[in-house]
Each structure stands twice: as C-alpha cells, then as structure tokens.
C-alpha cells in the first residue's frame, strides 16, 4: 500500500514523492496455514516471510530513492503498530530490515491517539493520524516531549470515515474539515488527506475491524472523502481548493471535467443456476474426516483459498443441537432447505427432526479479513475446528472451494443455465444482460428486492450487497462496460429480486455525523 503527495524539487519539474508503507494491510492469507502464526511480531515464521518479501521488494525500491535520483523521499516502517503492539522487538526488526537492504531515506511511523505512545521507534520520525483540532494539540505536545523539535506531519487527516454493514453512512461536515486542515497548516505541519479519494472495495477486498466484535466494511469506500467514490467533487473539495489556492501564491488551473453518469434500463435476469446444480461443474470436492479452514484447503498450488465462499457437506442421522465456530457467516441447510445462520454471535442452531440419512450443508462466507484490530491472528475462515451435533464431532466432510474467480465462472457455459423458475430458490446464480449505448458511462446498480450476495459484471467482481445497509447502490465504472449487451451474474444467498435498477446517482445510506 502506498500514500503519495506532490512537491516541486528545486530546479526540476513537479515530482512524485512516494512514501512506501509496508504494513499489515498486505499480509497474505497463506501465512495462517501455520497454526502457531503470530502476525506482526518477530515470530520466526512471520519474519521469514517478511525477509523474503523485502528481498524482492527493496531491490526495486532502493534505486528509486531521492538520493539515487528517484522520487521516494521517505519510507514508513509500519502503520499504526502502536494500536497493536504485540511485540516490542518487532518495529526495531522492521527498521533494521529496511536499512540492511539499502533504505537510506527518512524513516517514519504513523499512529493515532490510541497507539502513538507505544508506536514510536528510536531513530524514526513519528507522525500522527487524527480527525480533530483537539487531537492535534494533544498529539503534537506528546511528539514534542518525545522527539523534541522535529518536522511535524499529520500522516492521516481523516476527512470522513468508513462504513460497516448494518450501521449508518458516516460523514464529516465540510466546514469542520476546513477548520481542522487550516489549524494543521497554521501549526506548521505537513498534511496528507486520508482519504482524498476513497474509492471502492471491489471484489472481496472490503476488509473488517475486530476489537471487541467483528464488523465487516461495506463495498463502498466513499469515506465521505474530498472526492466521491466515483471521483466527483464535493463541498469539501471546493472549500479546500479555495483554501490552498489562497496560500499557494499562484492561480490554480481549472479542475478537470467530471465523468458523465448514466441511468440504463432496468435489467431483468433471464437465466438461473442453483448452487446445488452448479456443484457438478466444479472440481471434485475435497474429502476430509474433519472440517478444513479456507486457508488450509489443498487448492491453488498449496496456497489455500484467500477469499469468497466455502461449502461443507456431511451426512447426519438425527436431529439435535449443531454447534461450532464459523468464520465469518455460515448458512445452514438440511438437504437444500435453509434453517438459519451461524456466525460470531450465534454458535448453535437446532437441527429439526429428520428421517434416515440427511445431508447437512453449511455455506460459509469470508466476509472480509481484519485490517485493523487485535484479532488478526484469528482470521482463518470457514469452519474452525470441529463441528458438533449434540456435542459429538461430525466426520467425513466434502468441501467445495467457491472462490468465484473468472476461472470459476468459465465452467458455466450457457447450456448449463436454465430459464428462471417462477419461484427461484436460493442460493443461486442469476444471469442477465445490461444494455449499454454507444458511449458507456459510469452508473450505480441498485438491487432492491434482493437480500444478500455478490454482483459480477463482464467477469469482474463488482462487490457485495446486503439489504441491512447502509449501502444501497454499487458503483459500476463505465470502463467496465462495453457497447451493447454486458453480462451480469448475481450470486444471491437468500432471496432473489426480479430486476436490477441502474441510476445515475449513489445512495450510501442514512447519514450519521462522525463524532
């Protein structure tokens, strides 16, 4: 992950000053194949992976440093480690690992008020992350007491906030943003806006927060940022542009024209493929006496499965209380009938009276890997450990990897699909075509009447939707579309709607002002 800002070098054209951030946000799920893994520590299995990664990455970064004639002026050692702080030896290890591989530019840390005291490292410039003027005074005074008179930088000034499923759409007043930015500049500090442009968590990359409880982020990362999810200007943009223009000393050029938005005709899916019928077109299931978590599945050349869904099947012979740890959300089926869900809060469910051999199925969704919180070591997805029926562990599982990549959908040729039944059962895939004119433009899809699932457009994963909100529209960039008919596949978990609406404006939910 990287952050960047612009500055003019003496006697040279405007250059890109890149701050390379080597943070836990880029950790790979295969690290959790090790049952003893301790991420972001000096645990041997983790440092071996970091060292190998740095060997490759730094060989590319080192020649691009400013002292070698390149654009990189600083390297951030880690990101908000003070809020995690599981190993006091870890940050010095990362610092040394960078220096040993030839990093000679300014080293930085970046922490918020909860972690700043524990995030500082000897010989590394500490910077701060904040949202209010009160925090600015508090954190600046702390930095002054710790590292004396040093350059001051707000590495992350939070211009808004992210949203979680089931919550509101968080916003921050534009006048408050202007006042805080002005105070930061008047305090003699450099500033980086987080976010200037929020963007979108396309695919399955939305992430999550987990301290006391697990909260998955929505697909949109609009963040109430200076530019919207689709790159449009906001009141924050106008006010900040005027403010920076007033202190720049030179007239600002006119801003670029915005991309057009379009409302297309509603799309009605035409074809249908139930999940149960789709299974025969997938690779043979993995057979295992016990459940296997997603990361340890013997797929993808031994790297396991990182994202998507996983389906577990076994045979039961009686009713009872089903219990187990499901990460993150599992829909339970008796044969093909849904009987409820297991998740972080619901760990038991009653299996109704059955006769004879019955197939028990659990469709587990990886709702997003934790990118902030103290539970990153517990991010194995799927069924974790044994699944019990009346306290007896179930055996002999058939496990399907449902990563829903492009290769996954290539198995479903058009002859595999059928006409949508009058009352389509879920979970299922729905196929339709979005008609686009000569000039494809950005749009927003609204799945009113649908319950929960994922949308794929021309083979690309647009993201998740869920009727608990707050987000009600999915941003669809015009560059994803082609003139004519565009393929849309919807994977619906619970209850299908009849149409997919297209609108030229987003709706991200009920507004809630960030405290």
Q: Contact 25/81 with Cβ under 8 angstroms?
A: no
Among 332, 321, 329, 323, smallest CA distance to 359 is for: 332
Q: Which long-range contacts (CB under 8 A, 24 or more apart) does 464-467 make?
A: 464/204, 464/206, 464/218, 464/219, 465/219, 466/165, 466/218
Identify the band that residue 15 occupies on the pLDDT scale cut at 50, 70 and 90: very low
pLDDT the model gives residue 356: 82
Contact 362, 310 (CB under 8 A): no
Clarify whether residues 14 and 127 are in a common domain.
yes
Q: Which of 80, 105, 492, 493 is catalytic?
A: 80
Q: Is the pLDDT of residue 226 over 60?
A: yes
Dmax over Cα atoms in the chain, in whole Å? 83
**pLDDT value of residue 26:** 55
Same domain, 489 and 384: no
Residue 211 falls inside a structural domain:
no
* Residue 156 appears among annotated catalytic residues: yes
Residue 97 lies inside a defined structural domain of this protein: yes
Is 246 part of any domain? no
Q: Is residue 290 part of a domain?
A: yes
pTM above 0.85, yes or no: yes
In the predicted model, is pLDDT for residue 235 greater than 70? yes
How far apart CA 98 and CA 90 sit, in angstroms, is 13
Cα–Cα distances in Å, from 504 out to 261, 475, 499, 501?
Answer: 5, 10, 17, 10
Same domain for 385 and 440, yes or no, is no
CATH (domain of 505): 2.60.120.260
pLDDT over 90, % of the chain: 88
Considering the domain architecture, whether residues 377 and 426 belong to the same structural domain is answered as no
Cα–Cα dist 258/217, whole Å: 27
Q: Give the per-residue pLDDT at 216.
A: 98
Residue 2 has pLDDT above 60, yes or no: no
pLDDT digit string (tens) for 289-336? 999 999 999 999 999 999 999 999 999 999 999 999 999 999 999 999
Q: Residue 75: enclosing H or E segment and its boundaries?
A: strand 72-76
When pLDDT is averaged across residues 438-465 and rounded to a whole number, the result is 98
Cα–Cα distance, 355 to 178 (Å, whole number): 67
The half-sphere exposure of 461 on its side-chain side, counting CA atoms within 13 A, is: 22
Asked if residue 225 belongs to a domain, the reply is: no
The answer to whether residue 236 is domain-embedded is no
What is the tally of structural domains in the chain? Answer: 3
46 within domain boundaries: yes
Let me know whether 468 and 380 are in one domain: no
Query: According to the model, what pLDDT value does residue 353 have?
Result: 83
Which structure tokens are listed for 91? 């940050």
204, burial (CB in 10 Å: exposed 0-12, middle 13-18, buried 19+): buried
Q: Is residue 74 within 8 Å of 105, Cβ to Cβ?
A: yes
Residue 497 has pLDDT above 70, yes or no: yes
- What's the CATH number where 134 sits? 3.20.20.80
**Boundaries of domain holding 64:** 2-158
Domain boundary residue, one of 402, 422, 439: 402
Judge whether residue 8 has pLDDT over 80.
no
Check residue 3 and give its pLDDT.
Answer: 39
Sheet containing strand 348-351, strands side by side: 348-351, 320-327, 382-389, 392-393
Given 105, 156, 295, 492, which residue is catalytic? 156
Residues 382 and 432 in one domain: no
pLDDT in tens, 72-120: 999 999 999 999 999 999 999 999 999 999 999 999 999 999 999 999 9
pLDDT tens-digit series, residues 337-367: 999 999 999 999 999 988 888 999 999 999 9
Active site residue 472: no
């Amino acid at each position: 992950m990287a952050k960047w800002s612009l500055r003019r070098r003496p006697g040279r054209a405007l250059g890109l000053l890149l701050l390379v951030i080597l943070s836990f946000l880029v950790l790979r799920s295969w690290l959790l194949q090790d049952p003893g893994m301790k991420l972001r520590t000096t645990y041997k299995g983790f440092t071996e992976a970091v060292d190998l990664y740095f060997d490759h990455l730094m060989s590319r970064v080192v020649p691009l440093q400013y002292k070698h004639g390149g654009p990189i002026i600083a390297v951030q050692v880690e990101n908000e480690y003070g809020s995690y702080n599981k190993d006091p030896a870890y940050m010095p290890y990362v610092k040394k690992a960078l220096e040993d591989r030839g990093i000679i530019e300014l080293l930085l840390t970046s922490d918020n008020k909860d972690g700043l005291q524990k995030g500082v490292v000897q010989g590394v410039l500490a910077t701060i992350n904040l949202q209010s003027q009160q925090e600015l005074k508090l954190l600046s005074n702390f930095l002054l007491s710790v590292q004396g008179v040093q350059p001051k930088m707000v590495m992350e000034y939070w211009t808004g906030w992210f949203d979680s499923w089931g919550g509101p759409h968080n916003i921050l007043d534009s006048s408050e943003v202007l006042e805080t930015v002005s105070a930061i500049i008047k305090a003699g500090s450099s500033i980086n806006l987080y976010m200037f442009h929020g963007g979108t968590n396309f695919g399955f990359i939305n992430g999550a927060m987990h301290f006391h409880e697990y909260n998955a982020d929505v697909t949109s990362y609009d963040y109430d940022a200076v530019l919207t999810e689709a790159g449009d200007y906001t009141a924050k943009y106008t006010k900040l542009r005027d403010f920076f223009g007033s202190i720049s000393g030179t007239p600002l050029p006119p801003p670029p024209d915005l991309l057009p938005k379009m409302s297309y005709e509603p799309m009605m899916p035409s074809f249908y493929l139930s999940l149960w019928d789709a299974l025969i077109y997938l690779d043979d299931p993995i057979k295992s006496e016990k459940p296997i978590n997603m990361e340890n599945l013997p797929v993808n050349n031994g790297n396991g499965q990182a994202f998507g869904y996983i389906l577990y099947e076994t045979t039961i012979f009686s009713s009872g209380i089903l219990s187990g740890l499901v990460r993150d959300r599992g829909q339970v089926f008796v044969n093909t009938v849904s009987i409820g869900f297991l998740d972080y809060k619901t760990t038991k469910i009653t299996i109704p009276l059955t006769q004879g051999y019955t197939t028990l199925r659990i469709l587990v969704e990886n709702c997003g890997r934790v990118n902030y919180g103290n539970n990153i070591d517990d991010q194995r997805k799927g069924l974790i450990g044994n699944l019990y029926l009346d306290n007896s562990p179930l055996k002999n599982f058939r496990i399907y990897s449902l990563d829903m990549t492009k290769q996954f959908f290539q198995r479903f040729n058009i002859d595999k699909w059928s006409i949508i039944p009058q009352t389509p059962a879920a979970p299922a895939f729905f196929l339709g075509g979005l008609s686009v004119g000569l000039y494809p433009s950005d749009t927003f899809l609204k799945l009113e009447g649908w319950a929960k699932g994922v949308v794929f457009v021309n083979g690309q994963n647009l993201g998740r939707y869920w009727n608990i909100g707050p987000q009600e529209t999915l941003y669809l960039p015009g560059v994803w579309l082609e003139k004519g008919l565009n393929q849309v596949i919807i994977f619906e978990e619970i209850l299908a709607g009849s149409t997919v609406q297209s609108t030229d404006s987003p709706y991200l939910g009920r507004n809630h002002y960030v405290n």
